[in-house]
């Protein structure tokens, strides 16, 4: 019998695992995908090899790349982007780590109070969240992003908006700034040379501005795993969890089993209450089925797989909110064409942003050409110049919104990837019951019925739609301010990768799955700690920091409730994930 079993090693799971390992609990982490112990031998920096959602080494699928990806049904024009393996989708992520807006928490009294998703607030105050934000920020660690040409250009555009510069971590109103990033900033030769012989640790430290954040960070070359520039959890929290005995007094390293797909959560009736007792998983290589029991089970399988696991386990759903209220920031994409170097293919995924509460946020994005072309052909507004699919609207951007196809696409890309600037629109979208993860009617796979993710994007709330339009206009303004010769709007259908709130924590038992401590309302000793536990979409800011802060809080809550522990956040010595003791221990363990 374990103390705690954590299901999934993405953004949330490793945070819980690390915190509880530090307290000496016996923690088992089960991850459906692989752990890449030596990325240099398995990865490349090529887009299709890395990111093809069907075949890439970063995909939602089994460790064995000759097998197909795991299928999910998306019954609409949309794209769901999730990654399996230790690090989960943070292997893809860009490390942007803004805090959720204060307006999405209970007790907020700002003048714009009524303009947030007031029916679905976090069931505690921003002030209560603050120490958890800070703990994640200091552990990861998070710092102010360096600029490359792309950031410099975007910030120049922001300067023309008349908005102020934000110089603190809490967002109190519309403002622009460099990102606070989960990236070690460039040191030594990093960022100063293209010579790969010089871009080697320790002569180069931190971000080498290689432009491959999406393809997974394994830089600088020869750096210890916990000193790779990008702080995806395979580089930050998971190494800590695996070495907890060397950096925490009384710490106990977690057991990690990969290629282990959890298929069922077991429950028993204890004292008249349904209570989680353990899990069953399937080993991907052998197909063997294993079962293990625990005092507490933590689901961290993400917004799409948690509901599936819940339903496949036959767990209760009395208010019908399991899987509902899924938010995705209703992204949009605004492309600017420039006559000068934008550096879009070099540097971090994003180093600068403009927060625009209560509408959401926009940020500049740097990416290589395959994903740029994908982004330019993805639209809910048909094909530019041919049909609008019932939308295709005009506005301050040039021409119709819509996808680029044919000679237009070739011309756009032919400007050169480094003559384009991309702005991502991240909408503060409402929690709506209609947007959800449920089970597909299609035949299941080896792990049972598969997920179906439904977004009714043409039927979103008025507030969501208006927010998005306000942000798109702001993005166009920034592009023009930066000097764009042409500005295009794509009108994306759902690109589901900022995922939130499908198993939401809430004040009201009417519209939430988790109580305000993160425990399932109808299953005791079952907690959820990842993006799905979020009460709402955070207001538009990239969700991971908020999800990890919430996971830290949940770890503390379950520790005090079921293991008689004391609250620890703010009371213990903080250890940074780059600590030398962790590097040394990883090496000894050959991890």
Ligand X SMILES: Cc1cc2nc3c(=O)[nH]c(=O)nc-3n(C[C@H](O)[C@H](O)[C@H](O)COP(=O)(O)OP(=O)(O)OC[C@H]3O[C@@H](n4cnc5c(N)ncnc54)[C@H](O)[C@@H]3O)c2cc1C
| Site residues, ligand SF4 (CB under 6 A) | 183, 207-213, 217, 219, 229-230, 347-348
Tell me the longest C-alpha to C-alpha distance in the chain.
Answer: 70
Kindly state the number of chain residues that form the binding site for other proteins, as judged by CB under 8 A. Answer: 98
431 DSSP assignment: P
Q: Which of 248, 262, 383, 514 binds other proteins (CB under 8 A)?
A: 383
Q: How far is the CB of 32 from ligand X (least distance, A)?
A: 3
Residue 552 interacts with, from ligand X, other proteins, ligand SF4, none (CB under 5-8 Å by kind): none
Q: Which residue is nearest to ligand X (CB)?
A: 10
Is 542 among the residues that bind other proteins (CB under 8 A)?
no
Q: How far is the CB of 239 from other proteins (least distance, A)?
A: 22
By beta-carbon proximity to ligand SF4, the closer residue of 235 and 501 is 235
Q: How far is the CB of 489 from ligand SF4 (least distance, A)?
A: 27
CA distance 324 to 327: 9
Show Cβ contacts of residue 248 under 8 Å, excluding neighbours closer than 6 positions: 21, 22, 23, 575
Q: Which of 24, 26, 69, 106 binds other proteins (CB under 8 A)?
A: 69
By beta-carbon proximity to other proteins, the closer residue of 1 and 441 is 441
Residue 183 interacts with, from other proteins, ligand X, ligand SF4, none (CB under 5-8 Å by kind): ligand SF4
3-class SS at 86? coil
SS3 per residue for 301-354: CHHHHHHHHHHHCCCCCCCCCCCECCECCCCEEEEEECCCCCCCCCCCCCCEEE
Q: How far is the CB of 222 from ligand X (least distance, A)?
A: 26
By beta-carbon proximity to ligand X, the closer residue of 214 and 522 is 214
Q: Which of 15, 27, 209, 223 binds other proteins (CB under 8 A)?
A: 209
Residue 230 interacts with, from ligand SF4, ligand X, other proteins, none (CB under 5-8 Å by kind): ligand SF4
Nearest to 53 by CA among 91, 85, 82: 82
Residue ranges binding ligand X (CB under 6 A): 7-12, 30-33, 81-82, 84-85, 88-90, 92-96, 214, 261-262, 300-302, 305, 309, 497-498, 530-531, 542-545, 547
Is 39 among the residues that bind other proteins (CB under 8 A)?
no
Is 192 among the residues that bind other proteins (CB under 8 A)?
yes
CA 478 to chain centre: 25
The structure tokens listed for 297 are 């089970």
Q: Which long-range contacts (CB under 8 A, 24 or more apart) does 405-412 make?
A: 405/377, 408/384, 409/373, 409/376, 409/377, 412/335, 412/337, 412/376, 412/488
Q: How far is the CB of 353 from ligand X (least distance, A)?
A: 10
Task: Specify the stretch interacting with other proteins by CB under 8 A; choose among 11-19, 310-318, 439-447, 466-474.
Answer: 439-447
Residue 378 interacts with, from ligand SF4, other proteins, ligand X, none (CB under 5-8 Å by kind): other proteins
Element (H, E) at 238: helix 237-242
Q: Which of 92, 120, 177, 460 binds other proteins (CB under 8 A)?
A: 177
Show Cβ contacts of residue 137 under 8 Å, excluding neighbours closer than 6 positions: 97, 169, 180, 545
By beta-carbon proximity to ligand SF4, the closer residue of 381 and 578 is 578
3-class SS at 124? coil
By beta-carbon proximity to other proteins, the closer residue of 203 and 398 is 203
3-class SS at 530? coil
Q: How far is the CB of 406 from other proteins (least distance, A)?
A: 6
221 DSSP assignment: B
Task: Specify the stretch interacting with other proteins by CB under 8 A; choose among 39-47, 114-122, 308-316, 530-538.
Answer: 39-47
Is 125 among the residues that bind other proteins (CB under 8 A)?
no
Q: Which of 14, 15, 32, 74 binds other proteins (CB under 8 A)?
A: 74
State phi, psi for 73 to the nearest 5 degrees: -90, 130
C-alpha angle 407-413-415 in degrees, rounded to nearest 5? 105
CB atoms within 10 A of CB 321: 23
514, β-bridge pairs: 505, 520
């Amino acid at each position: 019998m374990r103390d705690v079993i954590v299901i999934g090693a993405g953004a949330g799971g490793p945070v819980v695992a690390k915190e509880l390992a530090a307290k000496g609990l016996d923690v088992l982490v089960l991850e459906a995908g692989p752990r890449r112990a030596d990325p240099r031998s398995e990865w490349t920096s090529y887009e299709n090899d890395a990111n093809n959602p069907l075949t890439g080494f970063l995909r939602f699928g089994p460790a064995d790349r000759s097998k197909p990806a795991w299928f999910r049904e998306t019954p609409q024009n949309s794209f769901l982007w999730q990654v399996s393996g230790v690090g989960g989708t943070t292997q893809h992520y860009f490390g942007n780590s803004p805090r959720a807006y204060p307006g999405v928490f209970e007790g907020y009294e700002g003048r714009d109070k009524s303009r947030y998703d007031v029916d679905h607030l976090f069931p505690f105050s921003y002030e209560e969240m603050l120490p958890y934000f800070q703990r994640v920020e200091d552990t990861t660690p998070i710092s102010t992003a360096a600029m490359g040409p792309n950031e410099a250009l975007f910030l120049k555009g922001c300067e023309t908006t008349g908005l102020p510069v934000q110089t603190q971590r809490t967002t109190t109103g519309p403002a622009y700034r460099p990102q606070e990033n989960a990236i070690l900033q460039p040191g030594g030769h990093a960022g100063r040379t293209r010579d790969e012989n010089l871009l080697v640790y320790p002569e180069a430290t931190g971000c080498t501005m290689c432009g491959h954040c999406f393809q997974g960070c394994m830089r600088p070359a020869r750096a210890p795993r916990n000193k790779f520039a990008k702080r995806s959890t395979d580089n930050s929290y998971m190494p800590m969890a695996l070495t907890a005995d060397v950096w925490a007094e009384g710490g106990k390293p977690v057991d990690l089993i990969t290629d282990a797909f959890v298929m069922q959560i077991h429950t028993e009736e204890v004292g008249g209450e349904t209570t989680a007792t353990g899990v069953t998983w399937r080993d991907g290589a052998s197909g063997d089925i294993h079962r293990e029991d625990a005092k507490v089970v933590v689901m961290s399988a993400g917004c799409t797989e948690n509901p599936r696991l819940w339903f496949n386990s036959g767990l209760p759903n009395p208010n019908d909110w399991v899987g509902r209220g899924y938010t995705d920031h209703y992204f949009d994409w605004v492309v600017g064409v420039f006559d000068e170097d934008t550096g879009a293919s070099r540097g971090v995924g994003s180093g600068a942003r403009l927060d625009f509460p209560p509408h959401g946020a926009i940020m500049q994005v740097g990416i290589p050409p395959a994903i740029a072309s994908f982004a330019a052909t993805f639209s809910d507004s048909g094909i530019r110049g041919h049909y609008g699919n019932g939308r295709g609207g005009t506005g301050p951007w040039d021409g119709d919104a819509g996808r680029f196809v044919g000679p237009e696409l070739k011309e756009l890309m032919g400007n050169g990837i480094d003559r384009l600037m991309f702005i991502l629109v991240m909408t503060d979208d409402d929690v709506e019951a209609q947007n959800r993860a449920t089970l597909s009617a299609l035949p299941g796979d080896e792990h049972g019925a598969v997920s179906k993710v439904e977004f009714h994007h043409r039927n979103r709330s008025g507030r969501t739609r208006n927010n998005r339009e306000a942000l798109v206009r702001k993005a166009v303004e920034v592009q023009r301010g930066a000097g764009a010769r042409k500005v295009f709007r794509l009108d994306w259908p759902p690109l589901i990768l900022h995922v939130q709130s499908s198993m939401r924590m809430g004040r009201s038992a009417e519209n939430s799955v988790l109580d305000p401590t993160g425990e399932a309302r109808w299953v005791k000793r079952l907690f959820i700690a990842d993006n799905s536990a979020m009460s709402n979409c955070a207001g538009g800011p990239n969700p991971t920091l908020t999800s990890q802060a919430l996971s830290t809080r949940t770890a503390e809550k379950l520790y005090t409730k079921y293991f008689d522990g004391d609250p620890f956040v703010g009371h213990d010595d903080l250890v940074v994930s780059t600590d030398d003791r962790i590097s040394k221990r990883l090496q000894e363990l050959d991890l």
